[in-house]
Amino acid sequence: MSPYEAYPYGEYGSWNTLRNCITHHNFDEGLEIPGFANGGNADGFSISSGEGNVVTHCLAYTNSDDGFDCWRSTNTSFLYSLSFTNGVADGNGSGFKAGGLEPSMGAVVEHCIAYGNTKRAFTYNSGENVRFSYNTSRSQHRRGRNKCSFFFRYF
């Protein structure tokens, strides 16, 4: 069974608020389980299902995958939060990731700060109708990767 079959879209976790939470040093580096990757699935905050969840005034740092990831959810909001030094081993290392597989759409990322992550500070990551407003980033490239601070698709 894949992790996707275990957590079908929309079945878990809609309309919740996470406020004033800190997550750090989540690591799955070294795990070689089929369907997972070496360091690639331990996000700080992973909103991977459901609709309308809000993460606000939170901090994610030094997790092996991304700081904040709303992969495969809809209308998730990341607000007033900070993400830094995420990305270890094969982890993606984005500060704020606003999409992924379908039905990813409607993410909002506002008033957030990202720095020192191994990949992109803010990325739409194929999410649809994503909005980034009033965010700040600096000093990506921690592992020498040539990645940008803001990554969007142009229409």
Interacting residue ranges for Ca ion, rule: CB under 5 A: 40, 43, 65-66, 69, 92
Which CB, 69 or 123, lies closer to Ca ion? 69
DSSP per residue, 20-40 = S-EEE----TT---TT--TTT
Q: How far is the CB of 43 from Ca ion (least distance, A)?
A: 4
CA-based nearest residue to 57, from 133, 99, 113, 15: 113
Q: How far is the CB of 38 from Ca ion (least distance, A)?
A: 10
Which CB, 89 or 105, lies closer to Ca ion? 89
CA-based nearest residue to 94, from 73, 77, 119: 119
Which CB, 40 or 116, lies closer to Ca ion? 40
Rounded distance between C-alpha atoms, residue 21 and residue 83, angstroms: 12
Q: How far is the CB of 4 from Ca ion (least distance, A)?
A: 13
